[in-house]
Amino acid sequence: MFSGIIQAVVPIHAIYESTNLKTYIIILPTHLLSNLKIGCSISNNGCCLTVIAIKYNLISFNVIHETLKLTNMGMLKVGDLINIERSLCYHSEIGGHLMTGHIDCTGKIIKIIISKNNKIIWFSIKKKYFQKYILQQGSIGVDGVSLTVSKTLNNYIRICLTPYTATKTTLGDKQIGNIVNIEVDIIIKSVINAVDNRLSIINSKKNNIFCEKL
């Protein structure tokens, strides 16, 4: 699990490709190397990836076809910067909101409004199905960053960046047309799915009773 509070912005050092698989190597800052072992999980642009190799501060991850298909990881190039967060430990402070690192879909930035000390970003959701889980004033993960949804309109989402978030994450440098990873709030998703399932059962029973009467 993660909290969406980015601990570092790091460059991609190398990318190796094979069939349906890419291996990424990033340069991790010294302060994030403590107790890091092979098998640990790290959020890369919001994607939970498993450490497969450690050589000094060079950390390697495998990214399989499904992740490449659902996220923006396949679009990254050597030298690109990504948001990094190590997984939470017991008694860790959750400054953002609970995130799994399992990306639901991507979003495309369609409008950016910049004013003094503010950056407003509008993006569209690729899969409209997930729109029902995104609520105004609710939480959302965008490239691994925990943010508050300031407004929703059809399948368009608006977020507002504070100066700190704009400078301490990659979101401050995003441009129109860029693709970002989206993770909806797992709690909202669970509640809505539970309600939908319950309503489906109730409606099914009503239909069965109606058919029996006929």
Q: Where are the domains of the chain?
A: 8-86, 105-192
Question: Does domain 105-192 fall into CATH 2.40.30.20?
Answer: yes
3-class SS string, the chain: CECCCCCEEEEEEEEEEECCEEEEEEECCHHHCCCCCCCCEEEECCEEEEEEEEECCEEEEEEEHHHHHHCCHHHCCCCCEEEEEECCCCCCCCCCCCECCCCCEEEEEEEEEEECCEEEEEEEECCHHHHHHCCCCCEEEECCEEEEEEEEECCEEEEEECHHHHHHCHHHHCCCCCEEEEEECHHHHHHHHHHHHHHHHHHHHHHHHHHHHC
- What's the CATH architecture for 8-86? Beta Barrel (2.40)
* pTM, two decimal places: 0.90
Query: Can 8-86 and 105-192 be said to share one CATH topology?
Result: yes
Q: What is the mean pLDDT of residues 112-140?
A: 92
- Tell me the pLDDT tens digit for each residue of 5-64: 999 999 999 999 999 899 999 999 999 999 999 999 999 999 999 999 999 999 999 999
Band of pLDDT at residue 155, cut at 50, 70 and 90 = confident
- Tell me the pLDDT tens digit for each residue of 54-66: 999 999 999 999 9
